[in-house]
Amino acid sequence: MSSGASWGTGVRKLIFWALIALSSSLASTSAAQTWGRLSGVVTEIGQTGRTVGFRLDGSSMTFEFDAGGRISPYAALNLLQAAAANQDHVAVEFDPNSGIFADDLSLHLLVHELSYRGKSLAGQTSATPVLASDAQATAEAALARGMALSRGGDKTAARMSLDDALAADHLRPALLPMALAARSGLLYETAFDVRAGLDRDQVLFAGLTDARRWRSMAPESAQAASAVARGLSLLGDDEAALSIYADVIKRWPEEAFWSDISISSIHRRRGDYANALAAMDDIVRRRGPQAGMAYRFNRGRALLGQKRLPEAIKEFTSALSYRPTYDYAFIQRACAYAQSARLPEAVADLSAALTIQDSLPDSNTTGGAAQARRERLQQDLASLRKLAADSPHSGSDIPCHSYFEAEIARDPSPLLQK
């Protein structure tokens, strides 16, 4: 963590911009501003003048909090530093129409409100956006808005904006792979809001088509290859996915960590927990002893599948030491506790997972896969509490089924034969 005149891996000063808004979105929306929302652990912090910039774990977007003349920028800086030190989530409400691509093609967005532990700070955003005046600027504004909303907003609006960005050949060539990557990832994510079967597979296949196009444009991109592998796996062709991940490990050793994680996940989904654990051991063999949430969590899941419950509990506990607000680690540890006949601890972990989910920006979302998972968790917590009250020392599998349909083994889709 750092603060000062420059920040980030490129030691690049924060840029300032005029807001660019997509004219079609302004024409179709009401006067009330809609905001994007995202939460996460702060990974980078920097300051230039009265603007504080930061990034969240797992996101390549840069958020900029413009303090304006109303508050001190140090209020935002101190809030972010406190959250980062505690590895806690901050909630960010941002203007999805404010996005602009910097010289390094990173997406920058203005923050409307920043919240942490009950304290909120209002950032300064422009009330009168500057309309894009040419086709390229309009396409780039659509891409920026689509990327922003795909991470923390209305997914339907995100899809429409990304479709607009890709509909005509107006994007800069350097941004086209980014647009395909964004839409592919969004399609993979939102497919599970669609009914299982051909309807869902069509959405997944559209995502795979974008990933393949991205890969054809960027054959030296490990991320593009991995996106194709992800789509194939989601559509049930695990063997093809495993082959691509193995190729990624061979061609791009620096990407081996996440490829091994994906390989472990595929084996785990198929019930092959020995090979799931072997993939995690391959990480250590290639890179040496490992720490961090991702490694500990995924190793814990492989051990849980093998019913090595004390070891799994230890790994999930370690994962939570790196990410105390990772709800799915609490869920997995709840399963290990329940199978170990430690029901009070399982209840506490499942309750903690729900509390974390309810604190996230999308906690009031209705419908879709996220809401279905939350409702299932609530039902399981009620059942587990009753069992703990009636028979606190009995074992249980109540919190041990998959809460994500993507983790359930499936047959290859017939669409892959086309």
Q: Give the residue from 102, 101, 114 showing the smallest Cα distance to 140.
A: 101
| 76-105 pLDDT tens trace | 999 999 999 988 889 999 999 888 898 888
Q: What secondary structure letter does DSSP report for 7?
A: B
Mean pLDDT of 256-285: 96
pLDDT of the residue at 144? 93
Q: Does domain 239-315 have CATH number 1.25.40?
A: yes
Q: In terms of C-beta density within 10 A (0-12 exposed, 13-18 middle, 19 or more buried), how is residue 17 classed?
A: middle
* Predicted model pTM: 0.83
Quick check: helix, strand or coil at residue 8? coil
- SS3 of 53, please? strand
- Residue 127's SS3 state is coil
**pLDDT at 113 > cutoff 70:** yes
Overall average pLDDT of the 199-203 stretch:
97
Is the Cβ–Cβ distance between 79 and 106 less than 8 Å?
no
Dist. CA 192–CA 393, nearest whole Å: 36
pLDDT in tens, 45-57: 999 888 999 999 8
For the chain, the structural domain boundaries read 20-134, 239-315, 325-408
Q: In sequence order, what are the residues at sequence separation of 6 or more whose Cβ sits closer than 8 angstroms to the Cβ of residue 55?
A: 8, 42, 43, 44, 61, 62, 63
Cβ-proximal residues to 320 (8 Å cutoff; 6+ apart), any chain: 293, 326, 329, 330, 333
| CATH class for the region spanning 20-134 | mainly beta
* Distance, CA of 252 to CA of 234 (rounded, Å): 23
pLDDT category at 23 given cuts 50, 70, 90 is: very low
Number of helices (H), then strands (E), in the chain? 15, 9
